Structure 1
Amino acid sequence: MTAGRIHAFLAGDGRDGAGRRLADVLAFDDARIEGVHDFIQWCFPLPEASRAVPGAPVLTPDEAASIRTDAAAGAGLRAARDRMMRFYARTDGWLRPHDHNHLRITRILHALRDLLGRQEARAFHAFVLARNAEAGAPVSAKSLGYWANALAGD
């Protein structure tokens, strides 16, 4: 049994605020990943309100605890991470000094760290840093700092 709407979504049993299942979001092509802005809060929930998407879900401590102990929700979160890694591997638009994807990456790092553990967050962090390095390091030091802080838990 899932403990809340975010948990149900990540476990594959529920729908996000737009009525989509996790499988629907995972099937987005890269253009939809780039252009749709209300899915990331469901795939990578945080305990604070989104400033970018009013009304997006906020992760409660009880729901976070239930996600951490549910294999299906963990698998859903890993599938969302893998989808975003494919997006960041195949696209270059985010490889510039400032881009909305930098905020997404910060969110992903926070959620991975808090819900799956630091090792999962470190692996994602290493991936985005490698992509940035391959592209000649165009991402701003400010964004890189936010990513490091998200990984560290600051």
Structure 2
Amino acid sequence: MAESTAGPLHAFLAGVGQDGRGRLAVDVLNFSDCDLEAVHDYIQWLFPLQSRSAAQPHSPILTLDEIAAIRADPRAVATLKAATERLLRFYRDTQWWLISHDHNHLRITRILHSLRLLVGPDEAIAFHKAILALHEAAGAPVNTRSLHFWAKAAGDVGP
């Protein structure tokens, strides 16, 4: 790495480090919708958390130092915002996740948790509201358990 970073997740989000498969964040952001659906090891890098992923147990987890560094690094925050827009475009342009149960529901929960932790509650709530609008427009097919997890992850408990 050319620049000092607090760890692999910070480096990846800052655009100076690679994920476990040698991809830069920009590579993942340029995935097609089909790739976003079929590839299962990028979401832990784009939207990291402090807890281990059951789906990808070898993915790194956030440390307190990385959380502070990511929050303070405009490059990392910009990547998180770009990733949020890319995933929102994916959810707007695809319909297969709009069913009762789908693995994308877990991804949405992760995105909401990560946004709230690393960017702030406003970003998480905005993403949550956009996802709920897609859900409602599709006739409200998502199960109530997922909806509950999303609201809790976003911290969106207001009216």
Give me the TM-score of the superposition, normalised by structure 1: 0.98
Runs of 4+ in 1 over 4 A off after TM superposition: none
By how many angstroms is 1:152 displaced? 2.0
Query: Does structure 1 residue 140 correspond to structure 2 residue 139?
Result: no
Query: Does structure 1 residue 125 correspond to structure 2 residue 159?
Result: no
- Matching residue within 93, 98, 106 for 1:95: 98
- Matching residue within 67, 71, 74 for 1:71: 74
Q: Which amino acid aligns with 2:123?
A: E
Partner SS for 1:133: helix
Partner Cα distance (2:154, 2:137) in 1: 21
Q: Which amino acid aligns with 1:114?
A: L
Identity score, percent: 57
Count of residues paired in the alignment = 153
Partner SS for 2:67: helix
Partner of 1:5: 8
Q: What per-residue deviation string (whole Å, max 9, x for no partner) do you get for residues 65-92 of structure 1?
A: 1000000000011111111011000000
Give me the TM-score of the superposition, normalised by structure 2: 0.94
In structure 2, list runs of 5 or more residues that go unmatched. Answer: none
Partner of 1:24: 27
Q: Which amino acid aligns with 1:58?
A: I
Q: Which amino acid aligns with 1:65?
A: A
By how many angstroms is 1:117 displaced? 0.4
- Aligned residues of 2:125 and 2:155 also touching (Cα < 8 A): no
